[in-house]
Amino acid sequence: MRKLHIERLGHRGEGIARDGNARVFVPYALPGETVTAEVEGDQARVVEIIEASRERIAPFCPHYAHCGGCAVQALAPSAYAEWKRGLVVTALRNAGLSADVAPLVDAHGAGRRRVTFHARMEKGHARVGFMAARSHEMVEIGSCPLLVAELAGALPAARAIAQILAARGKPLDLAFTATLDGMDVDLRGAGPLEEHETNALIKAAEAHDLGRLSNHGRLVALRRPPLVQIGPARVPVPPGCFLQATEAGEQAIAARVLEATRGAKRVADLFCGVGAFALRLVQGARVSAYDSAVEAVEAMFAAARGAAGLKPLDGAARDLFERPLSAQELAPFDAVVFDPPRAGALAQAGEIARSQVKTVVAVSCSAQSFARDAAILLKGGYSVTRIVPVDQFRHSPHVEIVAIFSRGEGQKRPKRGLLG
Protein backbone atom coordinates (compact mmCIF):
# COMPACT_ATOMS: atom_id res chain seq x y z
CA MET A 1 0.00 0.00 0.00
CA ARG A 2 1.31 3.45 -0.91
CA LYS A 3 0.35 7.00 -0.04
CA LEU A 4 0.25 9.07 -3.24
CA HIS A 5 -0.32 12.73 -4.09
CA ILE A 6 -2.06 13.29 -7.43
CA GLU A 7 -0.30 16.00 -9.42
CA ARG A 8 -2.45 16.23 -12.56
CA LEU A 9 -4.74 14.40 -14.95
CA GLY A 10 -3.14 12.61 -17.89
CA HIS A 11 -4.39 12.47 -21.46
CA ARG A 12 -6.39 9.31 -20.66
CA GLY A 13 -8.14 10.92 -17.71
CA GLU A 14 -6.09 9.13 -15.07
CA GLY A 15 -4.52 10.85 -12.10
CA ILE A 16 -0.73 11.01 -12.27
CA ALA A 17 1.39 10.71 -9.13
CA ARG A 18 5.01 10.08 -8.21
CA ASP A 19 6.07 6.99 -6.31
CA GLY A 20 9.69 7.73 -5.59
CA ASN A 21 11.19 8.48 -8.99
CA ALA A 22 8.52 6.53 -10.87
CA ARG A 23 5.40 7.95 -12.47
CA VAL A 24 2.19 6.14 -11.51
CA PHE A 25 -1.21 6.28 -13.18
CA VAL A 26 -4.17 6.30 -10.80
CA PRO A 27 -7.61 5.93 -12.47
CA TYR A 28 -10.49 7.95 -10.98
CA ALA A 29 -8.20 10.11 -8.77
CA LEU A 30 -8.19 13.89 -9.23
CA PRO A 31 -5.45 16.54 -9.13
CA GLY A 32 -4.61 17.72 -5.62
CA GLU A 33 -5.89 14.57 -3.93
CA THR A 34 -3.96 12.41 -1.49
CA VAL A 35 -4.86 8.73 -1.70
CA THR A 36 -3.75 5.37 -0.47
CA ALA A 37 -3.41 2.96 -3.35
CA GLU A 38 -2.25 -0.48 -4.34
CA VAL A 39 0.58 -0.04 -6.84
CA GLU A 40 1.62 -2.58 -9.42
CA GLY A 41 4.22 -1.38 -11.90
CA ASP A 42 3.08 2.01 -13.19
CA GLN A 43 -0.59 1.33 -12.38
CA ALA A 44 -2.38 1.99 -9.10
CA ARG A 45 -5.82 1.31 -7.66
CA VAL A 46 -7.31 3.76 -5.17
CA VAL A 47 -8.12 2.15 -1.83
CA GLU A 48 -9.01 5.33 0.08
CA ILE A 49 -9.15 9.05 -0.64
CA ILE A 50 -7.42 10.68 2.33
CA GLU A 51 -7.80 14.25 1.10
CA ALA A 52 -10.35 14.91 -1.64
CA SER A 53 -10.07 17.61 -4.27
CA ARG A 54 -12.28 20.66 -3.90
CA GLU A 55 -13.27 19.97 -7.49
CA ARG A 56 -14.61 16.48 -6.71
CA ILE A 57 -18.35 15.98 -7.22
CA ALA A 58 -20.55 12.92 -6.83
CA PRO A 59 -20.64 10.72 -9.95
CA PHE A 60 -24.13 10.20 -11.34
CA CYS A 61 -23.71 6.67 -12.69
CA PRO A 62 -23.57 3.60 -10.40
CA HIS A 63 -21.19 1.89 -12.84
CA TYR A 64 -18.58 4.67 -12.65
CA ALA A 65 -15.11 3.44 -11.62
CA HIS A 66 -16.09 -0.09 -12.67
CA CYS A 67 -17.18 0.27 -16.30
CA GLY A 68 -14.41 1.72 -18.46
CA GLY A 69 -16.72 3.95 -20.48
CA CYS A 70 -16.21 7.12 -18.42
CA ALA A 71 -12.77 8.18 -17.23
CA VAL A 72 -13.62 11.52 -15.59
CA GLN A 73 -17.10 11.79 -14.09
CA ALA A 74 -16.29 13.11 -10.60
CA LEU A 75 -14.62 16.37 -11.72
CA ALA A 76 -16.55 19.64 -11.46
CA PRO A 77 -17.71 21.01 -14.88
CA SER A 78 -15.38 24.03 -15.07
CA ALA A 79 -12.28 22.03 -14.14
CA TYR A 80 -13.34 19.24 -16.50
CA ALA A 81 -13.74 21.69 -19.40
CA GLU A 82 -10.31 23.17 -18.78
CA TRP A 83 -8.71 19.71 -18.59
CA LYS A 84 -10.28 18.67 -21.88
CA ARG A 85 -9.27 21.89 -23.62
CA GLY A 86 -5.80 21.30 -22.19
CA LEU A 87 -5.55 17.99 -24.06
CA VAL A 88 -5.44 19.97 -27.30
CA VAL A 89 -3.08 22.62 -25.91
CA THR A 90 -0.67 19.93 -24.69
CA ALA A 91 -0.74 18.00 -27.97
CA LEU A 92 0.10 21.16 -29.89
CA ARG A 93 2.88 22.07 -27.48
CA ASN A 94 4.35 18.56 -27.73
CA ALA A 95 4.41 18.99 -31.51
CA GLY A 96 6.30 22.26 -31.12
CA LEU A 97 3.31 24.43 -32.05
CA SER A 98 1.96 27.50 -30.33
CA ALA A 99 -1.64 28.45 -31.12
CA ASP A 100 -4.64 29.83 -29.27
CA VAL A 101 -7.26 27.21 -28.41
CA ALA A 102 -10.83 28.36 -27.86
CA PRO A 103 -12.89 27.28 -24.82
CA LEU A 104 -14.42 23.80 -24.93
CA VAL A 105 -17.79 23.54 -26.69
CA ASP A 106 -20.21 21.21 -24.88
CA ALA A 107 -21.92 19.15 -27.59
CA HIS A 108 -23.33 16.26 -25.57
CA GLY A 109 -26.86 17.41 -26.37
CA ALA A 110 -29.49 14.72 -25.80
CA GLY A 111 -26.79 12.08 -25.50
CA ARG A 112 -24.89 9.62 -27.65
CA ARG A 113 -26.81 8.19 -30.56
CA ARG A 114 -24.49 5.25 -31.16
CA VAL A 115 -22.96 2.73 -28.80
CA THR A 116 -21.17 -0.61 -29.02
CA PHE A 117 -21.86 -3.18 -26.33
CA HIS A 118 -19.67 -6.21 -25.73
CA ALA A 119 -21.08 -9.66 -24.99
CA ARG A 120 -19.19 -12.49 -23.30
CA MET A 121 -20.52 -16.00 -22.76
CA GLU A 122 -20.28 -17.90 -19.48
CA LYS A 123 -21.74 -21.42 -19.29
CA GLY A 124 -24.33 -20.64 -21.96
CA HIS A 125 -25.31 -17.30 -20.43
CA ALA A 126 -24.68 -14.02 -22.26
CA ARG A 127 -23.29 -11.13 -20.23
CA VAL A 128 -23.52 -7.70 -21.89
CA GLY A 129 -21.81 -4.41 -21.02
CA PHE A 130 -18.58 -2.45 -21.46
CA MET A 131 -14.96 -3.35 -20.86
CA ALA A 132 -13.27 -2.18 -17.67
CA ALA A 133 -10.55 0.45 -18.08
CA ARG A 134 -7.25 -1.01 -19.33
CA SER A 135 -8.63 -4.52 -18.97
CA HIS A 136 -10.14 -7.43 -20.87
CA GLU A 137 -12.66 -7.84 -18.06
CA MET A 138 -16.22 -7.08 -19.06
CA VAL A 139 -18.49 -5.15 -16.70
CA GLU A 140 -22.16 -6.05 -17.04
CA ILE A 141 -24.31 -2.93 -16.83
CA GLY A 142 -28.00 -2.28 -16.31
CA SER A 143 -28.18 1.07 -18.12
CA CYS A 144 -26.05 3.89 -19.51
CA PRO A 145 -27.19 7.45 -18.71
CA LEU A 146 -25.11 8.93 -21.55
CA LEU A 147 -27.29 7.49 -24.32
CA VAL A 148 -30.19 9.20 -26.10
CA ALA A 149 -33.68 8.13 -25.04
CA GLU A 150 -34.12 6.36 -28.37
CA LEU A 151 -31.52 3.81 -27.23
CA ALA A 152 -33.33 2.98 -23.99
CA GLY A 153 -34.16 -0.46 -25.36
CA ALA A 154 -30.66 -1.17 -26.62
CA LEU A 155 -29.40 -3.21 -23.66
CA PRO A 156 -32.41 -5.56 -23.49
CA ALA A 157 -32.15 -6.07 -27.25
CA ALA A 158 -28.39 -6.68 -27.01
CA ARG A 159 -28.92 -9.31 -24.30
CA ALA A 160 -31.61 -11.07 -26.34
CA ILE A 161 -29.43 -11.15 -29.46
CA ALA A 162 -26.37 -12.34 -27.57
CA GLN A 163 -28.32 -15.05 -25.75
CA ILE A 164 -29.49 -16.50 -29.06
CA LEU A 165 -25.84 -16.97 -30.00
CA ALA A 166 -24.54 -17.88 -26.54
CA ALA A 167 -24.03 -21.55 -27.43
CA ARG A 168 -21.28 -20.50 -29.84
CA GLY A 169 -19.20 -19.20 -26.95
CA LYS A 170 -17.78 -16.39 -29.10
CA PRO A 171 -17.23 -12.83 -27.86
CA LEU A 172 -19.57 -10.46 -29.68
CA ASP A 173 -19.80 -6.73 -30.35
CA LEU A 174 -23.21 -5.19 -30.93
CA ALA A 175 -23.19 -1.73 -32.51
CA PHE A 176 -26.44 0.21 -31.97
CA THR A 177 -27.37 3.44 -33.76
CA ALA A 178 -30.46 5.55 -33.09
CA THR A 179 -32.08 6.53 -36.39
CA LEU A 180 -35.27 8.29 -37.42
CA ASP A 181 -36.95 4.90 -37.80
CA GLY A 182 -35.73 3.09 -34.72
CA MET A 183 -32.61 1.26 -33.60
CA ASP A 184 -30.18 -0.05 -36.20
CA VAL A 185 -27.98 -2.93 -35.01
CA ASP A 186 -24.89 -4.46 -36.56
CA LEU A 187 -23.68 -7.70 -34.97
CA ARG A 188 -19.96 -8.49 -35.13
CA GLY A 189 -17.98 -11.55 -34.17
CA ALA A 190 -20.61 -14.24 -34.74
CA GLY A 191 -19.49 -15.37 -38.17
CA PRO A 192 -21.92 -17.05 -40.61
CA LEU A 193 -25.28 -17.85 -39.02
CA GLU A 194 -27.20 -21.11 -38.98
CA GLU A 195 -30.78 -21.05 -40.24
CA HIS A 196 -32.28 -21.53 -36.78
CA GLU A 197 -30.14 -18.68 -35.45
CA THR A 198 -31.26 -16.38 -38.26
CA ASN A 199 -34.90 -17.22 -37.57
CA ALA A 200 -34.47 -16.55 -33.86
CA LEU A 201 -32.74 -13.22 -34.56
CA ILE A 202 -35.57 -12.16 -36.87
CA LYS A 203 -38.03 -12.82 -34.04
CA ALA A 204 -35.83 -10.87 -31.61
CA ALA A 205 -35.71 -7.92 -34.02
CA GLU A 206 -39.50 -7.87 -34.06
CA ALA A 207 -39.84 -8.34 -30.30
CA HIS A 208 -37.49 -5.42 -29.60
CA ASP A 209 -38.82 -3.23 -32.43
CA LEU A 210 -35.49 -2.94 -34.23
CA GLY A 211 -35.48 -1.05 -37.50
CA ARG A 212 -32.75 -3.26 -38.94
CA LEU A 213 -30.50 -6.06 -37.77
CA SER A 214 -27.34 -6.97 -39.67
CA ASN A 215 -24.53 -9.47 -39.16
CA HIS A 216 -21.18 -8.02 -40.22
CA GLY A 217 -23.09 -5.74 -42.59
CA ARG A 218 -25.17 -8.57 -44.07
CA LEU A 219 -28.90 -8.06 -43.65
CA VAL A 220 -30.69 -10.34 -41.18
CA ALA A 221 -33.93 -8.42 -40.65
CA LEU A 222 -35.26 -5.20 -42.17
CA ARG A 223 -38.44 -3.83 -40.65
CA ARG A 224 -37.88 -0.14 -41.46
CA PRO A 225 -35.03 1.39 -43.50
CA PRO A 226 -32.78 3.31 -41.07
CA LEU A 227 -32.45 6.98 -42.00
CA VAL A 228 -30.70 9.97 -40.41
CA GLN A 229 -31.29 13.63 -41.19
CA ILE A 230 -28.26 15.56 -42.46
CA GLY A 231 -29.04 19.13 -43.44
CA PRO A 232 -31.76 18.99 -46.11
CA ALA A 233 -31.31 15.28 -46.85
CA ARG A 234 -32.41 11.98 -45.34
CA VAL A 235 -29.54 9.52 -45.55
CA PRO A 236 -30.01 5.72 -45.70
CA VAL A 237 -27.18 4.70 -43.38
CA PRO A 238 -25.17 1.54 -44.16
CA PRO A 239 -24.93 -1.03 -41.34
CA GLY A 240 -22.44 0.02 -38.67
CA CYS A 241 -21.43 3.15 -40.58
CA PHE A 242 -19.61 6.04 -38.93
CA LEU A 243 -21.66 8.92 -37.55
CA GLN A 244 -20.62 11.63 -35.11
CA ALA A 245 -21.36 10.33 -31.63
CA THR A 246 -24.04 12.91 -30.85
CA GLU A 247 -26.39 14.84 -33.09
CA ALA A 248 -25.43 18.01 -31.22
CA GLY A 249 -21.77 17.25 -31.93
CA GLU A 250 -22.37 16.87 -35.64
CA GLN A 251 -24.31 20.14 -35.72
CA ALA A 252 -21.67 22.02 -33.72
CA ILE A 253 -18.85 20.84 -35.97
CA ALA A 254 -20.83 21.36 -39.18
CA ALA A 255 -21.79 24.91 -38.16
CA ARG A 256 -18.12 25.83 -37.86
CA VAL A 257 -17.29 24.15 -41.17
CA LEU A 258 -20.05 26.10 -42.91
CA GLU A 259 -18.96 29.37 -41.32
CA ALA A 260 -15.34 28.87 -42.34
CA THR A 261 -16.22 28.03 -45.96
CA ARG A 262 -18.87 30.72 -46.43
CA GLY A 263 -18.50 32.31 -49.86
CA ALA A 264 -16.55 29.40 -51.36
CA LYS A 265 -17.87 28.31 -54.74
CA ARG A 266 -16.10 24.95 -54.88
CA VAL A 267 -15.34 22.83 -51.82
CA ALA A 268 -13.61 19.46 -51.47
CA ASP A 269 -14.87 17.28 -48.62
CA LEU A 270 -12.25 14.62 -47.87
CA PHE A 271 -13.00 11.58 -45.68
CA CYS A 272 -16.63 12.59 -46.20
CA GLY A 273 -18.38 9.48 -44.82
CA VAL A 274 -22.13 9.67 -45.41
CA GLY A 275 -21.92 13.41 -46.00
CA ALA A 276 -22.20 15.11 -42.62
CA PHE A 277 -20.54 18.17 -44.15
CA ALA A 278 -21.00 17.64 -47.89
CA LEU A 279 -24.80 17.45 -47.68
CA ARG A 280 -24.82 20.77 -45.85
CA LEU A 281 -22.12 22.47 -47.92
CA VAL A 282 -23.86 21.57 -51.17
CA GLN A 283 -26.70 23.93 -50.30
CA GLY A 284 -24.41 26.84 -51.19
CA ALA A 285 -21.40 25.50 -53.09
CA ARG A 286 -20.42 22.87 -55.60
CA VAL A 287 -18.90 20.01 -53.61
CA SER A 288 -16.60 17.11 -54.49
CA ALA A 289 -16.61 14.43 -51.78
CA TYR A 290 -14.32 11.43 -51.29
CA ASP A 291 -14.06 8.55 -48.84
CA SER A 292 -12.78 4.98 -48.92
CA ALA A 293 -16.07 3.59 -47.56
CA VAL A 294 -17.96 2.72 -50.75
CA GLU A 295 -21.35 2.17 -49.10
CA ALA A 296 -21.11 5.47 -47.22
CA VAL A 297 -20.36 7.41 -50.40
CA GLU A 298 -23.22 5.69 -52.23
CA ALA A 299 -25.59 6.55 -49.35
CA MET A 300 -24.51 10.21 -49.53
CA PHE A 301 -25.19 10.41 -53.26
CA ALA A 302 -28.56 8.65 -52.85
CA ALA A 303 -29.53 11.19 -50.19
CA ALA A 304 -28.48 14.11 -52.40
CA ARG A 305 -30.62 12.81 -55.26
CA GLY A 306 -33.62 12.81 -52.95
CA ALA A 307 -33.16 16.40 -51.75
CA ALA A 308 -34.24 19.52 -53.61
CA GLY A 309 -32.39 22.75 -54.35
CA LEU A 310 -28.83 21.51 -54.00
CA LYS A 311 -25.76 22.57 -55.95
CA PRO A 312 -23.84 19.87 -57.87
CA LEU A 313 -22.31 17.09 -55.75
CA ASP A 314 -19.69 14.81 -57.27
CA GLY A 315 -16.78 12.69 -56.12
CA ALA A 316 -16.10 8.98 -55.67
CA ALA A 317 -15.00 6.23 -53.34
CA ARG A 318 -11.24 6.68 -53.00
CA ASP A 319 -8.62 5.61 -50.48
CA LEU A 320 -7.14 8.93 -49.42
CA PHE A 321 -4.38 7.24 -47.43
CA GLU A 322 -3.06 5.46 -50.51
CA ARG A 323 -4.21 8.01 -53.11
CA PRO A 324 -4.64 11.44 -51.55
CA LEU A 325 -5.94 14.21 -53.79
CA SER A 326 -2.82 15.84 -55.17
CA ALA A 327 -2.03 19.53 -54.99
CA GLN A 328 -2.85 19.70 -58.69
CA GLU A 329 -6.24 18.04 -58.17
CA LEU A 330 -6.97 20.48 -55.35
CA ALA A 331 -6.24 23.52 -57.54
CA PRO A 332 -9.90 24.18 -58.56
CA PHE A 333 -11.15 24.41 -54.96
CA ASP A 334 -11.65 27.52 -52.85
CA ALA A 335 -11.82 25.46 -49.66
CA VAL A 336 -10.97 21.97 -48.43
CA VAL A 337 -12.51 20.16 -45.48
CA PHE A 338 -10.91 16.98 -44.17
CA ASP A 339 -12.11 14.77 -41.32
CA PRO A 340 -9.91 11.64 -41.18
CA PRO A 341 -10.07 8.70 -38.76
CA ARG A 342 -8.03 8.75 -35.56
CA ALA A 343 -4.77 8.04 -37.43
CA GLY A 344 -5.02 11.42 -39.13
CA ALA A 345 -4.27 12.33 -42.74
CA LEU A 346 -0.50 12.42 -43.10
CA ALA A 347 -0.33 11.97 -46.89
CA GLN A 348 -3.36 14.15 -47.60
CA ALA A 349 -2.15 16.93 -45.31
CA GLY A 350 1.11 16.97 -47.26
CA GLU A 351 -0.73 17.46 -50.55
CA ILE A 352 -2.92 20.20 -49.08
CA ALA A 353 0.21 21.95 -47.79
CA ARG A 354 1.60 21.93 -51.33
CA SER A 355 -1.61 23.38 -52.76
CA GLN A 356 -2.82 26.96 -53.07
CA VAL A 357 -6.28 26.36 -51.55
CA LYS A 358 -7.12 29.47 -49.56
CA THR A 359 -9.18 27.93 -46.75
CA VAL A 360 -8.65 24.57 -45.07
CA VAL A 361 -10.85 23.18 -42.30
CA ALA A 362 -9.40 20.26 -40.36
CA VAL A 363 -11.73 18.16 -38.23
CA SER A 364 -10.13 15.58 -35.97
CA CYS A 365 -10.95 13.12 -33.20
CA SER A 366 -7.32 12.82 -32.07
CA ALA A 367 -5.34 15.69 -30.59
CA GLN A 368 -2.06 13.93 -31.37
CA SER A 369 -2.64 13.23 -35.06
CA PHE A 370 -4.26 16.66 -35.45
CA ALA A 371 -1.14 18.34 -34.06
CA ARG A 372 1.03 16.39 -36.51
CA ASP A 373 -1.18 17.29 -39.50
CA ALA A 374 -1.42 20.92 -38.36
CA ALA A 375 2.37 21.14 -38.24
CA ILE A 376 2.48 20.00 -41.88
CA LEU A 377 0.03 22.70 -42.94
CA LEU A 378 1.86 25.41 -41.01
CA LYS A 379 5.18 24.34 -42.49
CA GLY A 380 3.52 24.55 -45.91
CA GLY A 381 2.74 28.24 -45.44
CA TYR A 382 -0.73 28.17 -43.87
CA SER A 383 -1.61 30.13 -40.79
CA VAL A 384 -4.08 28.93 -38.19
CA THR A 385 -7.15 31.13 -37.78
CA ARG A 386 -9.04 29.28 -35.05
CA ILE A 387 -8.92 26.00 -33.11
CA VAL A 388 -12.10 24.89 -31.34
CA PRO A 389 -12.32 21.76 -29.13
CA VAL A 390 -15.75 20.11 -29.17
CA ASP A 391 -16.90 17.70 -26.46
CA GLN A 392 -19.37 15.10 -27.69
CA PHE A 393 -17.75 12.27 -25.69
CA ARG A 394 -18.49 13.75 -22.29
CA HIS A 395 -16.58 12.23 -19.33
CA SER A 396 -14.10 10.50 -21.65
CA PRO A 397 -10.61 11.59 -22.79
CA HIS A 398 -11.81 11.87 -26.40
CA VAL A 399 -12.14 15.36 -27.88
CA GLU A 400 -13.13 16.57 -31.34
CA ILE A 401 -11.25 19.47 -32.89
CA VAL A 402 -12.27 21.93 -35.59
CA ALA A 403 -9.39 24.05 -36.90
CA ILE A 404 -9.41 26.66 -39.63
CA PHE A 405 -6.30 27.39 -41.68
CA SER A 406 -5.84 30.06 -44.30
CA ARG A 407 -3.32 30.99 -46.95
CA GLY A 408 -3.10 34.68 -47.76
CA GLU A 409 -1.96 36.16 -51.05
CA GLY A 410 1.57 36.52 -49.76
CA GLN A 411 1.80 33.01 -48.35
CA LYS A 412 3.27 30.85 -51.07
CA ARG A 413 3.80 27.12 -50.91
CA PRO A 414 7.38 25.93 -50.31
CA LYS A 415 9.27 23.77 -52.70
CA ARG A 416 8.31 20.11 -52.51
CA GLY A 417 11.56 19.05 -50.82
CA LEU A 418 10.87 21.22 -47.76
CA LEU A 419 7.93 19.08 -46.79
CA GLY A 420 9.76 15.78 -47.07
Q: Tell me, what's the pLDDT at 119?
A: 97
**Could you give the CA distance from residue 77 to residue 82 in angstroms, rounded to a whole number?**
9
Q: Return the CATH number at 20.
A: 2.40.50.140
- Active-site annotation holds for 365: yes
Q: Are residues 104 and 171 in the same domain?
A: no
Answer yes or no: is pLDDT of 288 > 80. Answer: yes
pTM: 0.93
Number of domains in the chain: 3
CATH number of the domain residue 160 falls in: 2.40.50.1070
Same domain (yes/no): 385, 262: yes
In terms of domains, do 344 and 382 share one? yes
CA distance linking residue 16 with residue 365, whole number of Å: 23
The CATH number given to whatever domain includes residue 376 is: 3.40.50.150
Domain-located, residue 358? yes
Same domain, 271 and 390: yes
* pLDDT, tens digit (0-9, with 9 covering 90-100), for 339-391: 999 999 999 999 999 999 999 999 999 999 999 999 999 999 999 999 999 99
Give me the pLDDT at residue 409, please: 56
In a domain, 140, yes or no: yes
Asked if residues 264 and 270 have their Cβ atoms less than 8 Å apart, the reply is no
In a domain, 79, yes or no: no
Residue 15: inside a domain, yes or no?
A: yes
pLDDT tens readout for residues 122-140: 988 999 999 988 788 899 9
Domain boundary among 228, 263, 279: 228
Residues 303 and 343 in one domain: yes
Assess if residue 74 is contained within a domain.
Answer: no
Distance of CA 356 to the CA centre of its chain: 30
Report the run of H or E that residue 388 belongs to, with start and end. Answer: strand 383-391
For residues 98 and 124, membership in a common domain is answered with: no
- Co-location of 158 and 271 in the same domain: no
pLDDT at 418 over 60: no
Q: pLDDT tens digits, residue range 292-336? A: 999 999 999 999 999 999 999 999 999 999 999 999 999 999 999
Q: Is 7 a member of any domain?
A: yes
To the nearest whole number, what is the mean pLDDT of the chain? Answer: 94
pLDDT tops 60 at residue 40:
yes
Q: What is the mean pLDDT of residues 178-196?
A: 97
Domain match, 363 and 393 both = yes
Q: How far apart are CA 132 and CA 93, in angstroms?
A: 31
Quote the CA–CA distance of 213 and 210 in Å, as a whole number.
7
Asked if residue 214 and residue 314 are part of one domain, the reply reads no
Same domain, 316 and 397: yes
Residues of the domain holding 308: 91-108+246-419
Q: Are residues 276 and 323 in the same domain?
A: yes
Which amino acid is present at 49? I
Q: Which of 67, 144, 241, 365 is catalytic?
A: 365
Residue 134 confidence (pLDDT): 77
Please give the pLDDT value at position 414. 40
Q: What is the pLDDT of residue 135?
A: 81
CB 162 within 8 A of CB 126: yes
What's CA 7's distance to the chain center, in Å? 28
Residue 408 and residue 272 share a domain:
yes
Q: How many Å apart are CA 225 and CA 235, to the nearest integer? A: 10
